[in-house]
């Protein structure tokens, strides 16, 4: 193991000699020192924390990810093209051990930088926040909604594919009954299905004036001892940040009421029976005015008894816009239910852990391709690989599909997503800046789904690295 750690030490020294690494390190220091302090007073307390955390942590993760790829490629190609590896392999040290030592060295130096930068950011942001003169009520709201780790519960999503298939079936029958031509070929049916599904999803997001939408949530804790927060955002007339204004709506909360009038309530709630009805009660005296296009939160007290024995929650929303316009709810916006699980520091640590996992994977990719390619080629291949993953994730996330071109793009993107690693899956900054919990189950899922893909590339890189003929390397 002495030779292994000697190579790790040499990797650190080689990384420190790289001018690009020195430049990225300088940029990292500037981000940690300057970005958190650029946010000044004049903004809401919640926005102050969210902006500070989001931009600083995003900058840190991007710089370190870029540096990990560069150094991974650099230390491998530098040893080969600088004839250093020629001397090392004359010793009883296998190339496999050299490769793993290089990977560990690159990973360690970036993990150390990540821990130092993230820790400094955490304390700088809190220190800068404490200097602001915010009212106590606003500070309490920030501590309850932002500086916390809250588990997110999304409403049960309709089966849009099943709904679209049923609508397609009825439409074909209707067109045939009218004697109109219907394209029954697989291509024609797929096109009609895509158009109908887009229409169904679009209608699901729209809530016309004086209409009510009901949401159902599952797997809520039976007896939560902390408040549950309803987080929502509505849009007026269209889902766009432009042209938004004040609107009105009324939230109603469903409360189960058992049909057996004389039965003990506590005993009834412990049963798995559905022998109850849901009654909806207003969360306010009347329709409330709120700004569209921005997030709002409402506090729900578990003592109200709105969680059913099946651990479900029912919510309704009535659109009473002043101009009788339709309101829109994005699928990604929920509305969500959030319950505090851990503190801000613990949730922040989880986000840093995810970023660290991504950096370790990127360092391995750099070492894998740098072991048998030149530096420019290895950088191009790794960056292209990551861009393919990001682009595929973006294409699959689009709900609008029109024409054979879009369908082919989704098909290719679906295949690529089974092979590549999308870089954005390791970005937890948006969650931690909004006080949403970074679940350990999600971290395990990232490791389970993406690390085996990286291992395949690592194995390929090690094989090519072992087979590379060092005698053919000639310095130009």
Alpha helices of 178-325 — where are they, by DSSP H?
186-205, 265-269
Strand partners, 436: 150
Least confident of 112-121, 209-218, 387-396: 387-396
Spatial distance between the Cα atoms of 238 and 242, rounded to a whole number of angstroms:
9
What is the mean pLDDT of the segment spanning 58-64?
90
The set of residues, in sequence order, having a beta carbon less than 8 Å from that of 449 and lying 6+ positions away, is none
Report the Cα 191 to chain-centroid distance in Å. Answer: 31
Mean pLDDT, rounded, for 325-350? 90
Cβ-based neighbour number of residue 157 at 10 Å: 9
Range of 12-21, 74-83, 211-220 with top mean pLDDT: 211-220
d(CA 345, CA 349): 6
DSSP 363-418: HHHHHHHHTTS-HHHHHHHHHHHHHHHHHHHHHHT-----HHHHHHHHHHHHHHHT
Contacts 24+ apart (CB under 8 A), 269-277: 269/305, 269/309, 270/309, 271/309, 272/309, 272/310, 273/309, 274/309, 274/310, 276/308, 276/309
For 305-326, write each residue's pLDDT tens digit.
Answer: 999 988 999 999 999 999 999 9
pLDDT higher than 60, residue 401 = no
DSSP 8-state assignment for residue 436? B
- In this prediction, residues 10-33 reach a mean pLDDT of 82
pLDDT at 19 over 90: no
Q: Give the separation between CA 238 and CA 181, rounded to whole angstroms.
A: 34
pLDDT of 299 strictly over 70: yes
Q: What is the sign, positive or negative, of the torsion defined by CA atoms of 40, 41, 43, 47?
A: positive
Model confidence pLDDT, tens digit, residues 74-90: 888 877 666 565 555 55
Structure tokens at 280: 């909806």
What average pLDDT does the segment 384-389 reach?
Answer: 85
Reference 314, options 272, 274, 281; nearest CA is 281
What is the Cα–Cα distance from 228 to 303, expressed in whole angstroms? Answer: 11
pLDDT in tens, 253-297: 999 988 765 455 545 455 555 678 899 999 998 999 999 988 888
Lookup: tokens for 168: 């397609």
Residues whose CB falls within 8 Å of the CB of residue 103, separated by 6 or more in sequence, listed in order: 72, 363, 364, 367, 458
């Amino acid at each position: 193991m002495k030779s292994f750690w000697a190579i790790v030490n040499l990797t650190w020294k080689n990384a420190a000699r790289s001018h690009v690494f020195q430049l990225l390190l300088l940029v990292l220091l500037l981000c940690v020192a300057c970005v958190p302090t650029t946010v000044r007073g004049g903004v809401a307390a919640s926005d102050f924390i969210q902006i500070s955390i989001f931009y600083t942590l995003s900058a840190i993760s991007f710089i370190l990810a870029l540096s990990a790829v560069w150094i991974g490629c650099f230390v491998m190609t530098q040893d080969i093209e600088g004839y250093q590896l020629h001397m090392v392999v004359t010793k009883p040290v296998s190339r496999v051990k050299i490769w793993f030592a290089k990977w560990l060295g690159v990973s360690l130096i970036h993990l150390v930088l990540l821990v130092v930068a993230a820790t400094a950011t955490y304390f700088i942001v809190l220190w800068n926040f404490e200097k602001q003169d915010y009212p106590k009520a606003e500070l309490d709201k920030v501590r309850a909604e932002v500086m916390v780790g809250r588990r997110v519960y999304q409403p049960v999503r309709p089966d849009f594919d099943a709904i679209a298939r049923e609508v397609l079936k009825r439409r074909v029958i209707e067109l045939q009954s009218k004697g109109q031509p219907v394209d029954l070929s697989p291509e024609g049916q797929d096109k009609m299905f895509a158009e109908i599904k887009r229409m169904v999803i679009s209608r699901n997001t729209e809530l016309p004036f004086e209409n009510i939408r009901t949401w159902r949530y599952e797997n809520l804790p039976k007896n939560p001892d902390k408040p549950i927060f309803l987080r929502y955002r509505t849009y007026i007339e269209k889902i766009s940040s432009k042209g938004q204004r004040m609107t009105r709506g009324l939230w109603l909360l469903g409360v189960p009421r058992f049909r057996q009038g004389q039965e003990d309530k506590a005993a009834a709630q412990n049963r798995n029976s559905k022998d109850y009805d849901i009654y909806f009660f207003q969360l306010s005296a009347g329709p409330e005015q709120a700004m569209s296009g921005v997030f709002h939160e409402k506090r729900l007290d578990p003592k109200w008894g709105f969680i059913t024995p099946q651990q479900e929650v029912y919510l309704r929303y009535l659109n009473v816009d002043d101009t009788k316009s339709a309101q829109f709810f994005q699928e990604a916006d929920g509305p969500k239910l959030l319950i505090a699980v851990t503190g801000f520091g613990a949730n922040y640590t989880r986000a840093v852990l995810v970023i660290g996992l991504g950096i370790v994977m990127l360092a391995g990719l750099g070492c894998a391709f740098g072991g048998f390619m030149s530096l420019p080629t290895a950088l191009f291949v790794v960056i292209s690989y990551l861009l393919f993953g990001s682009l595929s994730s973006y294409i699959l996330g689009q709900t609008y599909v029109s024409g054979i071109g879009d369908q082919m793009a989704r098909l290719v993107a679906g295949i690529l997503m089974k092979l590549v690693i999308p870089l954005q899956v390791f970005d937890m900054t948006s969650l931690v800046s909004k006080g949403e919990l970074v679940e350990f189950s999600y971290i395990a899922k990232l490791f389970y789904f993406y690390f085996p893909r990286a291992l395949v590339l690592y194995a390929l890189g090690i094989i090519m690295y072992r087979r590379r003929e060092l005698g053919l390397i000639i310095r130009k």
